[in-house]
Structure 1
Amino acid sequence: MDSKSKENDESASVSNELIFQNQEKKKRAAELIIANKELAFQNEEKEKRAAELIIANKELAFQNEEKEKRAAELFIANKELIFQNEEKEKRAAELHIANEELAFQNEEKEKRAAELNIANKELAYQKDEKEKRAAELGIANEELAFQNEEKEKRAAELIVANYARSLIEASLDPLVTISADGKITDVNAASIKITGIPREKLIGTDFSNYFTEPKKAQEGYLQVFEKGYVSDYPLTIKHKDGNLTDVLYNASVYKDSKGNVLGVFAAARDVTEQKQASQYARSLIEANLDPLVTISADGKITDV
């Protein structure tokens, strides 16, 4: 009983163990199936990944080729850029030099412009001065021409005056020129002789001072200024020693080239002897017992 039970127990135990193992195997089989499915799925995924990787590798290879092309192009572009930068630097250096040259030229132009402006101002000033000098020279030439004309006139007048003076000095009659205010401006030798006074003392003195009747002498030369002349105006000249000379004055105004009256020219004719003869004749007539009469050319009685 005990042996059989023991066998049964062992058999039952083995059966249980076997069942358990079968169950485990089933579990393992189920897990294996799942694992296989998972592995198959993973393999499929790996294949997909592999295919994608192939595609990616191709894409990467293409990209790498493109990158290499881009790198080559970039290298060329960099070289070109370096060359261009070098050229730009050269151009920049040349431009800097050109700018400095331009700045220098501009400074020179400004200097030249300033110098030109100064030169133009100087030229304008010189032109103004030349015009002034030309105007002054024109005025001076006109003045010189006028002065030459005046000199020629004065020379001609001097010749005439010298000739007139020679005639005046040669005259035996006292001759005198009188200003508008009655002052003696010139005399001849006969006037000096008849008054006994030197020329320099006569000139500038009153004409009427040398006559016995100063007022009458003044009235005489005033008549000349009013009428332009007087004829046979009787006056008596006083010599400084007291001698008297009866004269008849013929006088007229003299004028400048413009017709302005400058003064009076008066010539005195000594009638002392004529007057004395007339007085002597009168005394003879008055002493005669016979009636005597003088008659003019027109039959008028002039004296009895």
Structure 2
Amino acid sequence: MGKILKKEALILLNKELAFQNLEKEKRAAELIIANKELAFQNQEKEKRAAELIIANKELVFQNLEKEKRAAELIIANKELAFQNQEKENRASELIIANKELAFQNLEKEKRAAELIIANKELAFQNDEKEKRANELIIANRELAFQNQEKEERARELDLANKRLAFKNQERRIQTAELNIANRELLLQNGEKEKRSAELITANLELKRAQEYQKEYINGLEEMMFMTSHKVRQPIANILGLSYLLNDQSVNSPDELKESLDYIKQSALSLDTFTKELTLFIFNLGEKGKIVFK
């Protein structure tokens, strides 16, 4: 009778062991599926990070183009200062110099229009980056939820392995491998958090660059306003006096001297404005150095 009871107990124990092994196999299969999903999500995040790197390179290229245009503008202003100095000595060449100045102003307007287009493109890129950042945040939340679920399943699996440790040495090896996989997963999560912090830093630098661009555009508009208002009056005075000098009615040396004095005063006004414009451009450039330091 005792042997029959022991045999029945052994049969029940074997059935329970088979059921537990079946449950472990199901959980192991679920874990494999979850790991595949995690690998796919990591691949998607790497693609998005690569796209972000490409966008940053495009932004650096656009900034270099803007710096080149600013350098061209400085060179054009230096040429304008040289032309003003020549105008003091050669009043007869003033009409040609004015045509060159009008051409340069037209070029500046074209460059300002190009800068506006570039800013619109930059704003579009910023919107795209914000969308991708939001998608990355959602993906990280989903990954954190999945990690929590996996940790709960891992704890359950570890408890079952402890109950069967004395019967199945291979289950102990699988548990150790599962622990190693979880550590690697924690390490990957740490790397993702670092990348998120780098993304936040990049967005802050991008906002600073946008603020400087707005200030730079306002500076260009102010420069155009200064050029159109402060240059027009002295040039009109010089033109009027030059026409008066060409008139044969001006014969008196005193009248001639007075006309030359007026021309000199107008030329000095142009020289003063040139210095103001140079100082304004220098200050605008210094602000840019502070922003991108």
TM-score by length of 2: 0.28
Q: Which has the higher contact order (CA 8 A, sep 6+)?
A: 2
Kindly indicate which of the two structures has a greater share of residues assigned to helix: 2
Kindly indicate which of the two structures has a greater share of residues assigned to strand: 1
TM-score by length of 1: 0.27
